[in-house]
Structure 1
Amino acid sequence: MKVVRHWLAVPLVAMSMTGSSLVFAGEALASEKAASGQAALNNYHAIYEVQRGGSDYGEAMRKLESIGEGQYRLLNETQISFLFLSDVRRYDSRFAFAKGQVEPLEFHFKRSGTGRNKGIHVSFDSKTKQVKDAEADVALPVKWHEALMDEASMLEQLRYDLQHSEAKEFSYHLVDDKGEYDKQKFVRGEVETFTVPYGEVKGLRVERIRENSRRETTYWFAPEMNYVLVKMQQRKEGDEVATLLLEQLD
């Protein structure tokens, strides 16, 4: 039986650690980026194959587009099917980007297919420092952080920080697809060369740091392609769960 994981959306930086020094990236990186005028993200539309054991497992799409006034919309969708089972997950995130940091505005997640459907729709109110149920307009029990973001837009922050920072480790506060608070950590690895359906690429390896978990998640971002995600793999107890591979990029 196919095991499905909603692992396309990942990972604002709460802090970064390089060597033995601790850097509060939300302040230090923002000042550095503002001074250098780095305050924009590149639009892209990426299509991926999802495989398991070398066999077709489904497909995925990730699209980032500017919608004006320093705001962006991120769409992320996976469609996986196996025999009579299906799983479709859609992430829709709207956020602002200023001084090198993601500032979330609205996040919508929906899951459909075999089994129980589910979803959330939240908004971020920086004035009242609350995360709200966007439809009921009531606050959720999520502790506010100045570096808080949603699970989908977090990947755009990670991509940007890998490109504009020499930090080795990153830590992010976020609201996940259950509408709950989470914190995720990542460590920068080395650049590796490999082949995906798109062709031969060089990808910077990034590992997610998990505590007390049997799951392992690894990402590869291409420095020569504005750090777009070109490969992602999740394993559990050493066995492959699924691997995402870049097929097309606009």
Structure 2
Amino acid sequence: MEWPVAPFQARYELYGVGLPLGEAFMALDYPEPNHYAMRFEVRPNRLVGLLTSNQVQEQASGEIHNGQVQSTQYAQQADTGGETRDIQLRFNQSTGQVEARNNAEQATLPLSPGVTDPLSLHLTVMWDLERDQLPEQYTLIDGTQIRTYQIRNEGEEVLKTALGELHTVRIRQAQSGGSRITTFWFATDLQYLPVRITRQKKGREDLRLE
């Protein structure tokens, strides 16, 4: 079986405004041919756990069909102290609809080609980079909202990491007119695995995974 991206497990240190918050894990597997499963989990360190839960769990599954990543299900449970989110997404490719729920809010959204969920987006970008087919934008479902993000390739950069020096491609993701910018560093020798992720709000970094 040929995978768009080989199965992996990755562990990250998590920082908030420069302070260590805990660790995060991301994994990709293929439970059966042409079907993928992904998970992402944030575990706060003991000190942070005493102050606030800051726990996040995400699961996504879908199919590889005609050279595309097609989401079928996505779930997120998040408790970040001030906000609790319970998100469920079901992608129905045959009807062209997404059944979305964010806590008590529900919506039926149109499913256009290429629309994905926040976790499957990682697999999509890694595969697009591997094929040198990075588009100018991606569209995903965030809760019960459809959001389109502009993508910019900011070039290559060598990062010093716990694994040594890694050659990476730096990709910037932002909404038009939005105040949040997310930057990803994808390691070219690790099938474009994201080895650093930072988020900025109004020009200030508030989250980092590496």
* Distance (whole Å) between structure 1 residues aligned to residue 13 and residue 194 of structure 2: 12
Paired letter, 1:111: A
Q: Offset of 1:211 from its aligned partner?
A: 2.1
- Verify the 8 A CA contact 1:44 1:64 in the aligned structure 2: yes
* 2:137 equivalent among 154, 157, 171: 171
Q: Which residue is equivalent to 1:144?
A: 111
Are 1:232 and 2:194 counterparts? no
Against the structure 1 CA distance between its residues 70 and 84, is the aligned structure 2 distance closer, same or farther, given a 3 Å change threshold? same
RMSD: 2.3
Q: Offset of 1:215 from its aligned partner?
A: 2.3
Q: Offset of 1:116 from its aligned partner?
A: 4.3
* Distance (whole Å) between structure 1 residues aligned to residue 77 and residue 133 of structure 2: 35
Paired letter, 1:195: K
- Verify the 8 A CA contact 2:154 2:170 in the aligned structure 1: yes
Q: Which residue is equivalent to 1:61?
A: 25
Q: Offset of 1:110 from its aligned partner?
A: 0.8
Deviations 1:83-108 (A, max 9, x none): 61221111100010123211111111
- Verify the 8 A CA contact 2:91 2:111 in the aligned structure 1: no
Instruction: Name the SS of the counterpart of 1:86 in structure 2.
Output: coil
Show structure 2 runs of 5+ residues with no match: none
* Distance (whole Å) between structure 1 residues aligned to residue 62 and residue 184 of structure 2: 23
Instruction: Name the SS of the counterpart of 1:63 in structure 2.
Output: strand
TM-score (norm 1): 0.74
- Verify the 8 A CA contact 2:156 2:170 in the aligned structure 1: yes
Q: How many residues align?
A: 203
- Verify the 8 A CA contact 2:5 2:126 in the aligned structure 1: no
Q: Offset of 1:133 from its aligned partner?
A: 5.0
* 2:38 equivalent among 57, 61, 74: 74
* Distance (whole Å) between structure 2 residues aligned to residue 222 and residue 175 of structure 1: 26
- Verify the 8 A CA contact 2:26 2:38 in the aligned structure 1: yes
* 2:171 equivalent among 196, 199, 206: 206
- Verify the 8 A CA contact 1:38 1:99 in the aligned structure 2: no
**Larger relative contact order (Cα-Cα within 8 Å, sequence gap ≥ 6):** 1
Show structure 1 runs of 5+ residues with no match: 1-36, 246-250
Instruction: Name the SS of the counterpart of 1:72 in structure 2.
Output: strand
Structure with higher strand content: 2
